[in-house]
Amino acid sequence: MTAEEVRSDPGAQDISMEGTDISPKGDQGVLKEIKQEGSGEAPMIGDKVSVHYTGWLLDGTKFDSSRDRKDKFTFDLGKGQVIKAWDIAVATMKVGEICRITCKPEYAYGASGSPPKIPPNAVLIFEIEFFDFQGEDLSTEEDGGIIRRIRVKGEGYSKPNEGAVVEVWLQGSHNGHVFDERDVRFEVGEGEGLGIPSGVETALQQMEKGEEAVLYLKPKYGFGSAGYEPYQIPPNADLQYEIKLRSFEKAKESWEMNSDEKLEQGALVKERGTQYFKAGRYRQAIIQYKKIIQWLEHESGLSEEEATKSKSLLLAASLNLAACYLKVNEHRPALDHCNKALEFDANNEKGLFRRAESYMGVNELELAKDDLVKVIQLYPGNKAARAHLTHCQQRIREQHQREKKIYANMFQRLAEKEEKESAKVIKEPPAGDVEMSDGKEETQQSEAPGSAASEV
């Protein structure tokens, strides 16, 4: 029976409490009847689901319908965005399924109801049609690169942070082939050295203790364009991971450390970042250098000596972050960190040179040239800057030539168009045009047999 049939059914005035009990407590709180079977798998916690629904009171009074609004309703499953009965029922549905659920007040709006349409202690009936679902996107750029689906919800609200020591079980697969399965304990930010891709570490920072999840990683958040030979993962491979976060110990947050601790830890992570950089592990180096920025960027009340150390660490972190981002061809963040470094030292050789490289990466060639000229003026022995300047000037010339050709072609097309339009006007003068420049056309028209002029 469809929602339309229910609305027009006189028997809807006396709807009985029927269906299978799907309430977690087995207390008959949510009863479900399947009206149309669906197919595929059921959604998981955190999935964004799309449904149509109609709701009635027990006496058959309709109080709400997405169908009447002709707009499907979407929500994040298991996140408390809807009444309990919905989170319970929709988690059991499959795509294409239509079901009717009957829910007791404690699984709906309780003793208070939802005035004016839903009275206190109301038993509610819903017909729900389930259309589709999609996992939760955890990527910072929201590009669909890290999709999480939660099999088992975790405990509490605390989550690992960067530097936290985590104990996890994981299973990685590609095209249905399991390439990695193990229990492992590591520090978040150190996973790359253990063959754990960055997308897994990003996801772990959004997980709760005891949570079990499925991750779908695009190549950017997996093993990238290089692949991973130890696991025989080819370049640009999509990956799937099953993850269980068994336990974790959070790293100290910035507000939990005093100035001495921040400076001491800053020096340590700077050295660790440099080791990663030298080993070509740029993503891990980025994580280390970012910690320095996080800890010290807004630190106040420092002594003169502490302020000098802080400035030195921040300058080094910004320069090194720029170098890391240049290595992974991400020129915009490299540019941002160059600018931060130059706020500390406006004539810094590395800062100016790396900013020029960043500008060249985003095709801001004139700005790159200005920085390179400044480097050569301040540091005449910088051969790399001279070589880059030559290359930059060549690119500028090529760009000007391309632009000149584009404009020349554009003007040529405009000239040809104007010439055609002018020829058309001369060949076919407008009817009734009597304004002659010298009278010749008028004479010719009057002498033409059968012309409009001769008829007049």
Report yes or no: 258 and 167 within 8 Å, Cβ to Cβ.
Answer: no
Cβ-based neighbours of 205, under 8 Å, separated by 6 or more: 159, 160, 161, 162, 164, 188
- CA-to-CA distance for 48 and 164, rounded, in angstroms? 29
- Of 15, 22, 47, 53, the catalytic one is 53
Predicted local distance difference test score (pLDDT) of residue 136: 93
Produce one character per residue of 135-171: b if its CB has 16 or more CB atoms within 10 Å, e if not.
bbbbbeeeeebbbbbbeeebeeeebbebbbebebebe
63 flagged as catalytic: yes
Closest to 310 in 3D by CA, of 290, 323, 296: 296
130 flagged as catalytic: no
- CA-to-CA distance for 372 and 354, rounded, in angstroms? 9
- Of 64, 132, 137, 345, the catalytic one is 64
Closest to 53 in 3D by CA, of 61, 45, 63, 43: 63
DSSP characters over 154-201: -BSS----TT-EEEEEEEEEETTEEEEEEEEEEETT-GGGGT--HHHH
- CA-to-CA distance for 211 and 226, rounded, in angstroms? 31
Residue type present at position 201 = E
Report yes or no: 103 and 124 within 8 Å, Cβ to Cβ.
Answer: yes
Q: What share of the chain is helix, strand, coil (3-state, %, to 5)?
A: 45, 20, 35
Structure tokens at 119: 């009275």
Closest to 166 in 3D by CA, of 110, 209, 230, 217: 209
Closest to 206 in 3D by CA, of 252, 254, 257, 140: 140
pTM given for the model = 0.63
The whole-number mean pLDDT for each consecutive block of 10 residues of the chain, a chain of 456 residues, reads: 40 58 94 96 94 95 95 94 96 97 96 94 96 93 92 92 94 97 94 93 96 96 94 97 96 89 94 92 90 93 94 97 96 97 97 98 96 97 96 93 79 73 63 44 36 28
- Of 107, 126, 248, 353, the catalytic one is 126
- Of 73, 87, 107, 109, the catalytic one is 109
Predicted local distance difference test score (pLDDT) of residue 193: 86
109 flagged as catalytic: yes
Tokens 């801001």 sit on residue: 364
Predicted local distance difference test score (pLDDT) of residue 418: 74
- Of 15, 45, 83, 243, the catalytic one is 83
83 flagged as catalytic: yes
- Of 34, 63, 75, 344, the catalytic one is 63
Predicted local distance difference test score (pLDDT) of residue 427: 61
Per the rule left: phi > 0, alpha: psi between -120 and 50, beta: everything else, 416 is alpha
- CA-to-CA distance for 189 and 165, rounded, in angstroms? 10
Predicted local distance difference test score (pLDDT) of residue 11: 36
Report yes or no: 76 and 51 within 8 Å, Cβ to Cβ.
Answer: no
Predicted local distance difference test score (pLDDT) of residue 16: 52
Closest to 267 in 3D by CA, of 306, 325, 322: 306
Predicted local distance difference test score (pLDDT) of residue 181: 98
Predicted local distance difference test score (pLDDT) of residue 297: 93
- CA-to-CA distance for 124 and 277, rounded, in angstroms? 61
Report yes or no: 353 and 373 within 8 Å, Cβ to Cβ.
Answer: no
